[in-house]
Amino acid sequence: MNPLAAIVAVSEMKPGRYPQYNGMEMYRQVIAQFLREWPQLRPSDIGGLLSAPAGMASADGTDVFAHEKISEELGIEPSFSETINAGGCTYALMLVRASLAIERGLCDSVLCLGAGRFPNVGSGMAEMMSKLISHPEFEYPYGTYIPPIFALNATRHMHEFGTTREQLAQVAVSQREWSLLHPDALMAPQGRLTLDKVLSSRPIAYPFNLLDCSVPSEGGSAVLVVSPKIARRYAKKPCYLFGFGEKHTHSSISQAHDLTTLGSKETSALAYRMAGVGPGDMDFAQLYDSFSINPIIYAEDLGLCAKGQGGAFFAGGRTAPGGEFPVNTYGGLMSFGHVGDASGQTMIVEAARQIMGIAGGERQLKKADLGVVHCYGGMMSEHATLVLGSQT
Protein backbone atom coordinates (compact mmCIF):
# COMPACT_ATOMS: atom_id res chain seq x y z
CA MET A 1 0.00 0.00 0.00
CA ASN A 2 1.11 3.50 -0.80
CA PRO A 3 1.15 5.82 2.24
CA LEU A 4 -0.05 9.37 1.55
CA ALA A 5 1.01 10.88 4.87
CA ALA A 6 1.95 9.76 8.36
CA ILE A 7 0.71 10.73 11.82
CA VAL A 8 3.71 10.72 14.15
CA ALA A 9 2.54 12.57 17.27
CA VAL A 10 -0.87 13.09 18.89
CA SER A 11 -2.25 14.45 22.14
CA GLU A 12 -5.65 15.27 23.59
CA MET A 13 -6.89 17.35 26.52
CA LYS A 14 -9.08 15.65 29.07
CA PRO A 15 -12.65 16.56 28.09
CA GLY A 16 -14.51 18.62 30.67
CA ARG A 17 -15.70 22.12 31.41
CA TYR A 18 -13.12 24.88 31.02
CA PRO A 19 -15.11 28.10 31.53
CA GLN A 20 -11.91 29.96 32.42
CA TYR A 21 -10.52 29.55 28.89
CA ASN A 22 -11.71 31.45 25.79
CA GLY A 23 -11.25 30.02 22.29
CA MET A 24 -7.59 30.99 21.88
CA GLU A 25 -6.74 29.97 25.43
CA MET A 26 -8.18 26.51 24.71
CA TYR A 27 -5.74 26.28 21.78
CA ARG A 28 -2.87 27.29 24.11
CA GLN A 29 -3.84 24.51 26.50
CA VAL A 30 -3.96 21.97 23.66
CA ILE A 31 -0.55 23.06 22.36
CA ALA A 32 1.08 23.22 25.79
CA GLN A 33 -0.02 19.65 26.47
CA PHE A 34 1.16 18.50 23.03
CA LEU A 35 4.61 20.03 23.58
CA ARG A 36 4.82 18.44 27.04
CA GLU A 37 4.01 15.02 25.61
CA TRP A 38 6.37 15.36 22.61
CA PRO A 39 9.30 17.35 24.08
CA GLN A 40 11.65 16.54 21.21
CA LEU A 41 9.67 18.76 18.78
CA ARG A 42 11.03 22.18 17.74
CA PRO A 43 9.45 25.01 15.70
CA SER A 44 11.44 23.84 12.64
CA ASP A 45 9.50 20.54 12.74
CA ILE A 46 6.25 22.33 11.86
CA GLY A 47 6.10 23.37 8.19
CA GLY A 48 2.33 23.81 7.94
CA LEU A 49 -0.51 24.54 10.34
CA LEU A 50 -4.25 23.95 10.16
CA SER A 51 -6.73 25.08 12.78
CA ALA A 52 -10.48 25.28 13.17
CA PRO A 53 -12.05 28.66 14.03
CA ALA A 54 -11.31 29.54 17.67
CA GLY A 55 -14.30 29.81 20.00
CA MET A 56 -16.86 28.39 17.58
CA ALA A 57 -20.45 28.75 18.77
CA SER A 58 -19.36 30.88 21.73
CA ALA A 59 -21.01 34.09 22.87
CA ASP A 60 -17.76 36.07 22.50
CA GLY A 61 -17.54 35.36 18.78
CA THR A 62 -15.59 33.12 16.45
CA ASP A 63 -12.01 33.85 15.39
CA VAL A 64 -11.30 32.71 11.83
CA PHE A 65 -7.73 34.02 12.02
CA ALA A 66 -6.81 31.39 14.61
CA HIS A 67 -4.06 29.92 12.37
CA GLU A 68 -2.20 33.26 12.21
CA LYS A 69 -2.28 33.80 15.94
CA ILE A 70 -1.28 30.23 16.76
CA SER A 71 1.61 30.27 14.26
CA GLU A 72 2.92 33.52 15.70
CA GLU A 73 2.83 32.12 19.24
CA LEU A 74 4.53 28.91 18.10
CA GLY A 75 7.25 31.00 16.43
CA ILE A 76 6.70 29.45 13.01
CA GLU A 77 6.19 30.90 9.52
CA PRO A 78 4.32 28.07 7.76
CA SER A 79 4.36 27.63 3.99
CA PHE A 80 0.86 26.11 4.20
CA SER A 81 -1.72 27.33 6.73
CA GLU A 82 -5.39 28.18 7.10
CA THR A 83 -8.38 28.03 9.41
CA ILE A 84 -10.90 25.59 8.01
CA ASN A 85 -14.35 24.46 9.10
CA ALA A 86 -16.62 21.59 8.17
CA GLY A 87 -17.93 20.93 11.69
CA GLY A 88 -16.91 17.53 13.05
CA CYS A 89 -15.63 16.62 9.59
CA THR A 90 -13.00 19.37 9.78
CA TYR A 91 -10.21 17.21 11.18
CA ALA A 92 -10.50 14.38 8.68
CA LEU A 93 -10.37 17.08 6.02
CA MET A 94 -7.27 18.58 7.70
CA LEU A 95 -5.57 15.22 7.24
CA VAL A 96 -6.71 15.13 3.61
CA ARG A 97 -5.51 18.71 2.96
CA ALA A 98 -2.24 18.07 4.81
CA SER A 99 -1.51 14.95 2.77
CA LEU A 100 -2.19 16.79 -0.49
CA ALA A 101 0.03 19.70 0.54
CA ILE A 102 2.81 17.32 1.57
CA GLU A 103 2.47 15.33 -1.66
CA ARG A 104 2.80 18.54 -3.72
CA GLY A 105 5.81 19.65 -1.74
CA LEU A 106 4.27 22.69 -0.06
CA CYS A 107 5.71 21.47 3.24
CA ASP A 108 6.98 18.29 4.91
CA SER A 109 4.79 18.46 7.99
CA VAL A 110 1.48 19.93 9.13
CA LEU A 111 0.27 20.43 12.68
CA CYS A 112 -3.53 19.96 12.85
CA LEU A 113 -5.25 21.57 15.81
CA GLY A 114 -8.75 21.53 17.25
CA ALA A 115 -10.32 23.00 20.37
CA GLY A 116 -14.09 22.73 20.67
CA ARG A 117 -16.92 23.54 23.02
CA PHE A 118 -20.69 23.79 23.17
CA PRO A 119 -22.44 27.04 23.96
CA ASN A 120 -24.33 27.25 27.22
CA VAL A 121 -28.00 27.13 26.36
CA GLY A 122 -29.71 30.33 27.48
CA SER A 123 -29.54 34.03 26.68
CA GLY A 124 -30.27 33.45 23.02
CA MET A 125 -27.47 30.93 22.40
CA ALA A 126 -29.89 28.03 21.77
CA GLU A 127 -31.71 30.12 19.16
CA MET A 128 -28.37 31.05 17.57
CA MET A 129 -27.33 27.39 17.43
CA SER A 130 -30.66 26.43 15.88
CA LYS A 131 -30.15 28.97 13.07
CA LEU A 132 -26.61 27.70 12.57
CA ILE A 133 -27.43 23.99 12.36
CA SER A 134 -30.71 24.15 10.49
CA HIS A 135 -32.16 26.39 7.77
CA PRO A 136 -32.50 29.77 9.51
CA GLU A 137 -35.58 30.72 7.50
CA PHE A 138 -37.41 27.47 6.73
CA GLU A 139 -36.46 25.06 9.56
CA TYR A 140 -35.67 27.23 12.58
CA PRO A 141 -39.32 28.35 13.06
CA TYR A 142 -40.27 24.72 13.82
CA GLY A 143 -38.10 24.47 16.93
CA THR A 144 -35.20 22.58 15.35
CA TYR A 145 -32.23 21.68 17.51
CA ILE A 146 -29.63 18.99 17.32
CA PRO A 147 -31.17 15.91 19.05
CA PRO A 148 -34.53 15.98 17.19
CA ILE A 149 -32.76 16.50 13.87
CA PHE A 150 -30.79 13.27 14.31
CA ALA A 151 -33.90 11.60 15.68
CA LEU A 152 -35.41 12.07 12.20
CA ASN A 153 -32.67 9.79 10.82
CA ALA A 154 -33.27 7.29 13.63
CA THR A 155 -37.05 7.10 13.23
CA ARG A 156 -36.69 6.63 9.48
CA HIS A 157 -34.07 3.89 10.00
CA MET A 158 -36.41 2.12 12.43
CA HIS A 159 -39.21 2.41 9.87
CA GLU A 160 -37.20 1.11 6.91
CA PHE A 161 -35.21 -1.66 8.60
CA GLY A 162 -36.95 -2.51 11.87
CA THR A 163 -34.09 -1.16 13.97
CA THR A 164 -35.12 -1.21 17.63
CA ARG A 165 -34.61 1.10 20.58
CA GLU A 166 -32.76 -1.75 22.30
CA GLN A 167 -30.29 -1.86 19.39
CA LEU A 168 -29.78 1.90 19.68
CA ALA A 169 -29.24 1.54 23.43
CA GLN A 170 -26.65 -1.20 22.87
CA VAL A 171 -24.41 1.34 21.09
CA ALA A 172 -24.37 3.44 24.26
CA VAL A 173 -23.77 0.39 26.47
CA SER A 174 -20.82 -0.92 24.41
CA GLN A 175 -19.17 2.47 24.16
CA ARG A 176 -19.42 3.01 27.89
CA GLU A 177 -17.48 -0.27 28.30
CA TRP A 178 -14.64 1.12 26.15
CA SER A 179 -14.63 4.41 28.07
CA LEU A 180 -13.95 2.51 31.30
CA LEU A 181 -10.54 1.66 29.78
CA HIS A 182 -9.67 5.31 28.99
CA PRO A 183 -8.13 7.36 31.81
CA ASP A 184 -9.58 10.65 30.51
CA ALA A 185 -13.12 9.57 29.53
CA LEU A 186 -15.75 11.93 30.91
CA MET A 187 -18.43 9.31 31.64
CA ALA A 188 -16.15 6.53 32.95
CA PRO A 189 -16.68 7.58 36.59
CA GLN A 190 -20.43 6.90 36.09
CA GLY A 191 -19.65 3.21 35.59
CA ARG A 192 -21.30 0.59 33.40
CA LEU A 193 -24.50 1.10 31.48
CA THR A 194 -27.24 -1.42 30.88
CA LEU A 195 -29.93 -1.46 28.20
CA ASP A 196 -32.45 -0.76 30.98
CA LYS A 197 -30.54 2.30 32.18
CA VAL A 198 -30.50 3.76 28.66
CA LEU A 199 -34.15 2.88 27.99
CA SER A 200 -35.31 4.34 31.30
CA SER A 201 -33.30 7.56 31.08
CA ARG A 202 -35.22 10.79 30.49
CA PRO A 203 -36.74 11.13 26.98
CA ILE A 204 -35.18 13.91 24.87
CA ALA A 205 -36.52 13.40 21.34
CA TYR A 206 -38.04 10.06 20.34
CA PRO A 207 -36.38 7.58 19.93
CA PHE A 208 -33.52 9.16 21.90
CA ASN A 209 -33.35 9.19 25.66
CA LEU A 210 -30.66 11.12 27.50
CA LEU A 211 -28.21 8.21 27.36
CA ASP A 212 -28.65 7.87 23.58
CA CYS A 213 -27.04 11.31 23.32
CA SER A 214 -23.39 12.32 23.46
CA VAL A 215 -22.13 14.42 26.35
CA PRO A 216 -21.53 18.10 25.49
CA SER A 217 -18.17 19.15 26.88
CA GLU A 218 -15.00 21.05 26.02
CA GLY A 219 -11.60 19.89 24.93
CA GLY A 220 -9.19 19.71 22.06
CA SER A 221 -6.35 17.83 20.44
CA ALA A 222 -3.29 18.02 18.23
CA VAL A 223 -2.08 15.76 15.42
CA LEU A 224 1.30 16.11 13.69
CA VAL A 225 1.19 14.85 10.10
CA VAL A 226 4.45 14.43 8.16
CA SER A 227 5.68 13.11 4.83
CA PRO A 228 5.93 9.29 4.83
CA LYS A 229 9.58 9.81 3.78
CA ILE A 230 10.52 11.33 7.13
CA ALA A 231 7.96 9.60 9.37
CA ARG A 232 10.41 7.25 11.04
CA ARG A 233 12.53 10.17 12.17
CA TYR A 234 9.66 10.97 14.54
CA ALA A 235 8.01 7.67 15.40
CA LYS A 236 9.06 4.03 15.52
CA LYS A 237 5.65 2.97 14.33
CA PRO A 238 3.88 5.82 12.52
CA CYS A 239 0.19 5.76 11.65
CA TYR A 240 -0.07 6.04 7.88
CA LEU A 241 -2.92 7.49 5.84
CA PHE A 242 -3.64 5.12 2.95
CA GLY A 243 -6.93 6.41 1.58
CA PHE A 244 -9.59 9.04 1.99
CA GLY A 245 -12.94 10.15 0.61
CA GLU A 246 -14.84 13.40 0.99
CA LYS A 247 -18.44 14.36 0.21
CA HIS A 248 -20.77 17.24 1.14
CA THR A 249 -24.42 16.32 0.55
CA HIS A 250 -26.71 18.94 2.11
CA SER A 251 -27.05 21.55 4.81
CA SER A 252 -30.69 21.36 5.96
CA ILE A 253 -31.81 17.90 7.12
CA SER A 254 -35.18 18.29 5.38
CA GLN A 255 -33.29 18.66 2.08
CA ALA A 256 -31.18 15.49 2.47
CA HIS A 257 -31.94 13.06 -0.38
CA ASP A 258 -31.85 10.10 2.00
CA LEU A 259 -31.93 9.80 5.81
CA THR A 260 -30.58 6.25 6.06
CA THR A 261 -27.86 6.09 3.38
CA LEU A 262 -25.56 9.07 3.69
CA GLY A 263 -22.51 10.60 2.00
CA SER A 264 -20.54 8.04 4.01
CA LYS A 265 -21.35 5.29 1.49
CA GLU A 266 -19.52 7.19 -1.23
CA THR A 267 -16.64 8.46 0.95
CA SER A 268 -15.85 4.99 2.29
CA ALA A 269 -15.89 3.48 -1.20
CA LEU A 270 -13.43 6.18 -2.32
CA ALA A 271 -11.20 5.67 0.71
CA TYR A 272 -11.09 1.86 0.38
CA ARG A 273 -10.38 2.09 -3.36
CA MET A 274 -7.56 4.57 -2.84
CA ALA A 275 -6.03 2.34 -0.19
CA GLY A 276 -6.61 -0.82 -2.20
CA VAL A 277 -8.44 -2.53 0.65
CA GLY A 278 -11.99 -3.43 1.62
CA PRO A 279 -14.08 -3.22 4.78
CA GLY A 280 -13.24 -6.85 5.58
CA ASP A 281 -9.57 -5.86 6.00
CA MET A 282 -10.30 -3.47 8.87
CA ASP A 283 -9.29 -4.34 12.43
CA PHE A 284 -11.38 -1.58 14.02
CA ALA A 285 -13.56 1.43 13.23
CA GLN A 286 -14.01 4.83 14.83
CA LEU A 287 -17.46 6.14 13.85
CA TYR A 288 -18.60 9.64 14.84
CA ASP A 289 -21.41 9.12 17.33
CA SER A 290 -23.24 12.25 18.43
CA PHE A 291 -26.23 9.95 18.93
CA SER A 292 -26.76 6.20 19.12
CA ILE A 293 -28.13 5.99 15.55
CA ASN A 294 -25.01 7.38 13.87
CA PRO A 295 -22.60 4.44 14.25
CA ILE A 296 -25.41 2.12 13.11
CA ILE A 297 -25.80 4.01 9.82
CA TYR A 298 -22.02 4.35 9.37
CA ALA A 299 -21.35 0.65 10.01
CA GLU A 300 -23.73 -0.03 7.10
CA ASP A 301 -22.48 2.70 4.78
CA LEU A 302 -18.84 1.71 5.42
CA GLY A 303 -19.63 -1.87 4.44
CA LEU A 304 -18.91 -3.33 7.89
CA CYS A 305 -22.37 -4.94 7.59
CA ALA A 306 -25.21 -4.94 5.06
CA LYS A 307 -27.62 -2.00 4.77
CA GLY A 308 -30.31 -2.35 7.41
CA GLN A 309 -28.18 -4.68 9.58
CA GLY A 310 -26.50 -1.90 11.57
CA GLY A 311 -28.65 -2.53 14.64
CA ALA A 312 -27.76 -6.24 14.64
CA PHE A 313 -24.09 -5.33 14.07
CA PHE A 314 -23.95 -3.74 17.53
CA ALA A 315 -26.23 -6.26 19.28
CA GLY A 316 -24.91 -8.35 22.15
CA GLY A 317 -21.78 -6.28 22.65
CA ARG A 318 -20.12 -7.35 19.36
CA THR A 319 -18.28 -3.99 19.21
CA ALA A 320 -17.45 -3.75 22.93
CA PRO A 321 -14.09 -4.72 24.50
CA GLY A 322 -13.46 -8.40 23.82
CA GLY A 323 -16.08 -8.43 21.03
CA GLU A 324 -15.63 -9.48 17.42
CA PHE A 325 -15.11 -6.04 15.93
CA PRO A 326 -14.03 -3.05 18.04
CA VAL A 327 -15.86 0.22 17.39
CA ASN A 328 -15.10 3.53 19.11
CA THR A 329 -12.37 2.09 21.32
CA TYR A 330 -12.13 5.26 23.44
CA GLY A 331 -15.83 5.42 24.35
CA GLY A 332 -16.93 7.65 21.49
CA LEU A 333 -18.53 11.04 21.82
CA MET A 334 -21.21 9.37 23.95
CA SER A 335 -18.89 8.28 26.76
CA PHE A 336 -15.47 9.86 26.19
CA GLY A 337 -17.10 13.27 25.70
CA HIS A 338 -18.30 15.39 22.79
CA VAL A 339 -15.82 18.25 22.62
CA GLY A 340 -17.71 20.23 19.99
CA ASP A 341 -16.41 19.95 16.43
CA ALA A 342 -13.00 18.85 17.80
CA SER A 343 -14.52 15.42 18.46
CA GLY A 344 -13.71 14.72 14.84
CA GLN A 345 -10.05 14.79 15.80
CA THR A 346 -10.51 12.73 18.99
CA MET A 347 -11.34 9.80 16.72
CA ILE A 348 -8.20 10.33 14.67
CA VAL A 349 -6.09 10.60 17.84
CA GLU A 350 -7.52 7.30 19.08
CA ALA A 351 -7.08 5.53 15.73
CA ALA A 352 -3.47 6.76 15.58
CA ARG A 353 -2.77 5.64 19.15
CA GLN A 354 -4.15 2.16 18.37
CA ILE A 355 -2.10 1.84 15.19
CA MET A 356 1.06 3.29 16.79
CA GLY A 357 0.58 0.84 19.67
CA ILE A 358 0.42 3.57 22.32
CA ALA A 359 -3.25 3.34 23.40
CA GLY A 360 -2.06 1.77 26.63
CA GLY A 361 -3.36 -0.87 29.03
CA GLU A 362 -6.32 -3.04 28.20
CA ARG A 363 -7.56 -0.53 25.66
CA GLN A 364 -4.74 -1.31 23.25
CA LEU A 365 -6.05 -3.70 20.59
CA LYS A 366 -4.01 -6.84 19.96
CA LYS A 367 -4.36 -6.31 16.22
CA ALA A 368 -4.63 -2.76 14.96
CA ASP A 369 -2.87 -2.86 11.59
CA LEU A 370 -5.68 -1.22 9.63
CA GLY A 371 -8.59 0.89 10.78
CA VAL A 372 -11.29 3.08 9.31
CA VAL A 373 -12.38 6.45 10.69
CA HIS A 374 -15.58 8.18 9.64
CA CYS A 375 -16.28 11.78 10.59
CA TYR A 376 -19.24 13.92 9.67
CA GLY A 377 -19.95 17.59 10.07
CA GLY A 378 -23.20 19.52 10.38
CA MET A 379 -26.41 17.50 10.39
CA MET A 380 -24.70 14.50 8.77
CA SER A 381 -24.02 16.95 5.93
CA GLU A 382 -20.28 16.72 5.37
CA HIS A 383 -18.55 13.36 5.29
CA ALA A 384 -14.99 12.08 5.28
CA THR A 385 -13.64 8.56 5.61
CA LEU A 386 -9.99 7.78 6.34
CA VAL A 387 -8.20 4.46 6.00
CA LEU A 388 -5.27 4.41 8.43
CA GLY A 389 -2.72 1.70 9.06
CA SER A 390 0.68 0.71 10.31
CA GLN A 391 2.74 -0.97 7.63
CA THR A 392 4.08 0.44 4.38
Q: Which residues bind other proteins (CB under 8 A)?
A: 121, 126-127, 130, 134-145, 147-148, 151-156, 159, 202-207, 252-255, 259
Examine residue 78 and say whether the peptide bond preceding it is cis (omega within 30 degrees of 0). Answer: no
Return the axis-axis angle of helices 293-301 and 146-161, rounded to nearest 10°.
50
Residue closer to other proteins by CB (options 109, 130) is 130
Task: Compute the least distance from the CB of residue 147 to other proteins, in Å.
Answer: 7
Residue closer to other proteins by CB (options 208, 314) is 208
In single-letter form, the type of residue at position 106 comes to: L
Task: Compute the least distance from the CB of residue 135 to other proteins, in Å.
Answer: 6
Residue closer to other proteins by CB (options 42, 159) is 159
Q: Which of 111, 125, 134 is nearest to 47 (CA)?
A: 111
Cβ–Cβ contacts within 10 Å for residue 92, how many? 32
Residue closer to other proteins by CB (options 291, 376) is 291
Task: Compute the least distance from the CB of residue 234 to other proteins, in Å.
Answer: 46
Task: Compute the least distance from the CB of residue 274 to other proteins, in Å.
Answer: 29
Task: Compute the least distance from the CB of residue 210 to other proteins, in Å.
Answer: 9
Task: Compute the least distance from the CB of residue 304 to other proteins, in Å.
Answer: 24
Residue closer to other proteins by CB (options 22, 251) is 251
Distance CA 303, CA 72 (A): 43
Residue closer to other proteins by CB (options 354, 381) is 381
Residue closer to other proteins by CB (options 127, 196) is 127
Task: Compute the least distance from the CB of residue 162 to other proteins, in Å.
Answer: 13
Per DSSP, the residues of 2-45 read ---EEEEEEEEPPPB--TT--HHHHHHHHHHHHHHHSTT--GGG
Task: Compute the least distance from the CB of residue 349 to other proteins, in Å.
Answer: 31
> What is the CA 246 to chain-centroid distance, rounded?
14
CA distance to 98, 167, 234, per residue, from 317 (Å):
36, 10, 37
C-alpha distance across the termini of the chain, in Å: 6
Residue closer to other proteins by CB (options 32, 126) is 126
Task: Compute the least distance from the CB of residue 380 to other proteins, in Å.
Answer: 13
Give the pairing of strands 370-377 and 284-287.
parallel
With contact defined as beta carbons under 8 Å apart, do 88 and 341 qualify? Answer: yes
Residue closer to other proteins by CB (options 35, 152) is 152
- 315 Rama class: left (phi>0) / alpha (psi -120 to 50) / beta: beta
Distance CA 289, CA 301 (A): 14
Could you give the 3-state DSSP secondary structure of residue 60? Answer: coil
Give the pairing of strands 48-51 and 203-205.
unpaired
